Amino acid sequence: MGIIEQASSYAAQIDNLILIVGAFVMFWFVLAQGIIFYFLFRYRKKRQPKAEYITGEKHSETKFIHWAHWGVIACDLVIIFFAIKAWYHVKQELPTADTTIKIVGQQWAWEFTHPGPDNILDTEDDIVTIDELHIEVGKVHHYKLSSKDVLHDFSVPVFRLKQDAVPGRVITGWFKPIKTGEFDIQCAEMCGIGHGIMAAKLYINSKEDHAKWLESPNLKYTLYQEPKEEVEQ
C-alpha cells in the first residue's frame, strides 16, 4: 500500500494505523458535511421562510452534540489501542538480534559500523562507512544509535522508522528488512546548516550479495585513520 514502499516487518502495521485514523476522519467529515448540506437544502427559504429561535437546551436537542461526542471518543479509544500496540512492537519489544550495527550521527553525516564477516562488533574486521548502510534482507538488526554533537534523527521512510539520536546516550532499537533494494536514509531533526543534505543510502541485499559485499566492501568514502605506530623490535 502507499506511495512509499514497505521494506520492514513493521511498516505495514504503521501504515494500517494511519489508515485507521484516515478512515475515522473521513467518516466524520462526510457525516458532518452531509448533515450541513441536508439542512441547507431541507430548511431553505422556500420551504421554511420564517426562522425559528432554538436555545438548544432540551435533551432532544443536546443529544445531537452528545452522541457525536461519544462517537468521537470511541474512535479515539480504537486509535489509542492500535497506536500503543504499534509503539510497543516497534520501540519497546526487542526481538533477538541476528546482527548488530552501530550508527553515529554528526554534523552532517551518518557513520555506520558493520560487524564484518565475523558478525561481532568492535573487532578488527568491522567495516566503517560514511553515508551508506549495507544490510541483509530477512535478518533482525539491532542498532546502537548515538550522536557526536547535537540532536539528529535517524529516519528510514521505507522502514517507517524514526529514532532521535541524543548526544551522550546510546539508544538501542531494531528493524527487520523484508525486501531488497536501494533506499533513502535522512536526518529528520533540524541539526544545523547542513541538515537538509544529511542523507545516506540504505542497501538491502540478498544473503549472497551481502556476503560478497562483506568480502570486498568497495567504499565510496573512507574514514581518516591515525597511522599505526610501527614498533621496532
Interface positions with Cu ion (CB under 5 A): 187, 191, 195, 198
- Closest to Cu ion by CB, 162 or 195: 195
Q: What share of the chain is helix, strand, coil (3-state, %, to 5)?
A: 35, 25, 40
- Closest to Cu ion by CB, 86 or 151: 151
- Closest to Cu ion by CB, 75 or 151: 151
- Closest to Cu ion by CB, 12 or 199: 199
Longest CA–CA span in the chain (Å) reads: 108
**Residue 30 Cβ, how far from Cu ion at the closest point, in Å?**
39
CA distance 148 to 127: 19
**Residue 86 Cβ, how far from Cu ion at the closest point, in Å?**
25
Task: Give 101's strand partners.
Answer: 143
**Residue 202 Cβ, how far from Cu ion at the closest point, in Å?**
17
Phi-psi sector, 196: left (phi>0), alpha (psi -120 to 50), beta? alpha
- Closest to Cu ion by CB, 5 or 131: 131
CA angle centred on 139, ends 135 and 141, rounded to 5°: 70
- Closest to Cu ion by CB, 178 or 200: 200
CA distance 35 to 63: 15
CA distance 25 to 1: 19
**Residue 130 Cβ, how far from Cu ion at the closest point, in Å?**
15
**Residue 152 Cβ, how far from Cu ion at the closest point, in Å?**
5
AA letter at 202: L
**Residue 120 Cβ, how far from Cu ion at the closest point, in Å?**
30
Q: Is 209 helix (H, G, I), strand (E, B) or coil?
A: helix
Structure-block grid coordinates of residue 129: 562507512
Do residues 134 and 100 touch, judged by C-beta distance below 8 A? no
